[in-house]
Amino acid sequence: MKSVRKALRDGDLSKDNYGRLSCVDCETTLKSRNDPSEIGTVRLCPGCESEWQEL
């Protein structure tokens, strides 16, 4: 699972003026999932079901 920062640099994610993250492939806003056993937040794309780790 890639980090959000690396995905932004690679062009997999984009950020709008309000700080919302979107998937570049399917152009949908990411949802978040908080798992108590993991550090950070997992960001999910509902369209293509890709995941990114936000630390």
Residues 6-38: pLDDT tens digits?
999 999 999 999 999 999 999 999 999 887 887
Burial 37-51 (b: 16+ CB within 10 A, else e): eeeeebbbbeeeebe
- What is the spatial distance between Cα 3 and Cα 17, in angstroms, rounded to a whole number? 21
Q: What is the pLDDT of residue 54?
A: 87
Q: What is the pLDDT of residue 40?
A: 86
Contact (CB, 8 A) for 44 and 51:
yes
Contact (CB, 8 A) for 13 and 22:
yes
27 backbone φψ class: left, alpha, beta (φ>0; ψ -120 to 50): left
